[in-house]
Structure 1
Amino acid sequence: MSFGVFAAVLAAALVHAGWNVLVKGAADKLAMTISVAIGAGVVAAVVLPFLPLPAAESWPFIGVSVLLQSIYYLLIARAYRIADMSLAYPLMRGAAPVVVALCGAAIFGEVLGGGQWLAVGLISVGVIALALGAFRQQPLATAGMIAALGNAMVIAAYTLVDASGVRLSGSPVAYSLLLAVLTGVVTVVMALAGGARPRPNGRMLGLGLVGGAATTTSYGVALWAMTRAPVAPVAALRETSIVFALILSKLVFGEKVGGRRFAAACLVMAGVAALRLF
């Protein structure tokens, strides 16, 4: 993994944690999540006409990913209604790298070296330790745990789908932008079909544009990185957003970060360093 790819994915992780703060801090989390999805679609729609469309071979992958990412948005809102960010975020993001690593090796035939597997393992163990430490302090409701862990599987699924689709697209940027446009529409449709009646106000829609730009940029960078480096290390490195989320949850929501959480964060950062070295 080159330094440019490494730095870009790390920055994308910070941006991703940032837009999750917007959702967690909102009184109506579903409305805020939908605002972010709409904002992402609007931002993408402005840029997309200036780019060639992704190759036709990638469109089936886009269709599947749109459904998965719409479910992802709705599960984020549900998890944050039930659980604190410092609890739900590690569970949602933490299980995904291991699933991606195991499935990616089988699907893409990527043979990872021992150092890379060590890095993925360190990041995953650190993430799990963060989650367990938070769980001991404030146990998750069963529904919250199911939503968070279920979303981890959704994250792993759309990561693998898009890793295949973006390599066929011929244009990673156009692929991610089209994905954002369609996901914004489908997320609203799915929420309404499920009986929800979110009522985002003007301020929420404005913040949604900011969050939408953040999530589109973050995921677009990750997809681009998957065309330049193996999928598993990119997916694992992206999960360092958990460390950034931990810091932001303390700064924004005043959550306590003790020695155990700090040690777990150090494990994650050790994994990041190992990814860079190997």
Structure 2
Amino acid sequence: MSSWITSFEGTPAAETLAFVLVLLSAASHAVFGIIFKGGIDTYINRGAINVCYSLIVLPFALFVLPWPSHEMWIVLSWSFLAHMIYELLQARAYSMGAFTLVYPVARGTGPIATALLAFVAFSEHLTLLQWLALFALSGAIFSLAFVNLRDMRADAAASRGMTAALIAAVATGAMSAVFMNIDALGTRMGEDPLTFVAWFFVLGMFSTPIFALARWRYRARNGLPLPTLKALAIRGFLGAVVALTTFGAMMVATRLAKLGEIVALRETSIAFAAILGVLFFGERLNGARIVLIALIAASAMAVQLAG
């Protein structure tokens, strides 16, 4: 598969493949959010997911794919740190705020920050129309979050802890811009892009799961509810399969296309997230939200077409 992916580099088909991979990543990322946020404790959920995807990928990393170079290990260490901070911030945001509020805030922070960092790190240039579409995209995403926030203020239960959730969501989006650029560097520096992807997942076993274990002990010590091991294993495995899809597809796409274009298209995940938020968490979807979701999708497509 690695040789098949790299055969697209520098060809017109590369952008098409990246387009398909990012749409797959967007849809699966929304599903991942549902699996992550559900259940009893988001920190424990994330720990179980990381352990499962590390164990799934470990044999391929050890026995199938080339080993990382010294330079790639350095990038992997920075990626490990950035993703750990991101995962903890994401868990905090999901544990304190409604899914349809914190998800768009986190997603809206990322596109412009990612594109700016990509300009500095990789000299990736977007056209004026692409920048305008990118600002329209982030504006529509934040507008969606504002509409959700306005409706939640009347609900005391939903609005509890809202400020902390919003701060965590903004920080989550900022960290996503950091790790996107680090991961792009990692996938682009070796002959086989899957080497970086595989070891990224393997190293995930040593980050959030440690905090998840501490969280488990805290809840047990204080008599708080805990998931059954069977339920946690099922959630961990399902989350791992979806995580491998969403993050793996995204990382491979960063080798084939510009980061600004990729991250914009991935924000179509908000449309999927809005639908799933209604289906799984009983969150409302009114006319204003539908219009803004359509604007998000249109802006994301405009970034692609204006390139």
Question: If the length of structure 2 is used for normalisation, what is the TM-score?
Answer: 0.84
Residues 1:270 and 2:291 are matched in the alignment = no
Instruction: Describe the superposition over 1:229-248 as per-residue Cα deviations: whole angstroms up to 9, x where unpaired.
Output: 11111112112211111111
Question: Is there any run of 5+ residues in structure 1 with no aligned partner, and where?
Answer: none
Runs of 4+ with deviation above 6 angstroms? none
Residues 1:25 and 2:38 are matched in the alignment = yes
Instruction: Describe the superposition over 1:198-256 as per-residue Cα deviations: whole angstroms up to 9, x where unpaired.
Output: 76522212221121121122112111111111111111211221111111111222211
Larger deviation: 7-16 or 33-42?
A: 33-42
Maintained 8 Å contact 1:54/1:171: no
Residues 1:138 and 2:166 are matched in the alignment = no
Equivalence for 1:207 = 235
Larger deviation: 240-249 or 48-57?
A: 48-57
Residues 1:226 and 2:254 are matched in the alignment = yes
Alignment match of 1:4 (pick from 10, 14, 17): 17
Q: What SS does the corresponding residue of 1:95 show, helix, strand or coil?
A: helix
Structure 1 residue 192: deviation in Å?
4.8
Q: Greater Rg, structure 1 or structure 2? A: 2
Instruction: Describe the superposition over 1:118-146 as per-residue Cα deviations: whole angstroms up to 9, x where unpaired.
Output: 33223212211111111111145221111
Equivalence for 1:13 = 26
Equivalence for 1:35 = 48
Q: Distance in 1 between matches of 2:27 and 2:218?
A: 31
Equivalence for 1:180 = 201
- Matched AA of 1:53: W
Indicate the percent of aligned positions where both proteins have the same amino acid: 32
Alignment of structure 1 residues 21-170 onto 2, 5 Å: 21-48=34-61, 49-139=63-153, 141-170=162-191
Indicate how the Cα distance of structure 1 residues 35 and 195 shifts in structure 2: closer, same or farther if over 3 A, else same. closer
Question: If the length of structure 1 is used for normalisation, what is the TM-score?
Answer: 0.92
Indicate how the Cα distance of structure 1 residues 274 and 196 shifts in structure 2: closer, same or farther if over 3 A, else same. farther
RMSD: 2.0
Maintained 8 Å contact 1:97/1:124: yes
- Matched AA of 1:173: L
Equivalence for 2:156 = none
- Matched AA of 1:18: V
Structure 1 residue 189: deviation in Å?
2.6
Alignment match of 1:256 (pick from 284, 292, 307): 284
Structure 1 residue 110: deviation in Å?
1.1
- Matched AA of 2:44: A
Instruction: Describe the superposition over 1:160-194 as per-residue Cα deviations: whole angstroms up to 9, x where unpaired.
Output: 11112221132222211111111222222345568
Structure 1 residue 105: deviation in Å?
1.1
- Matched AA of 1:171: D
Indicate how the Cα distance of structure 1 residues 97 and 47 shifts in structure 2: closer, same or farther if over 3 A, else same. same
Maintained 8 Å contact 1:35/1:208: yes
Q: What SS does the corresponding residue of 2:67 show, helix, strand or coil?
A: coil
Q: Distance in 2 between matches of 1:123 and 1:56?
A: 38
Maintained 8 Å contact 1:243/1:265: yes
Question: Is there any run of 5+ residues in structure 2 with no aligned partner, and where?
Answer: 1-13, 154-158, 220-225
- Matched AA of 2:249: V
Maintained 8 Å contact 1:123/1:267: yes
Alignment match of 2:210 (pick from 151, 165, 189): 189
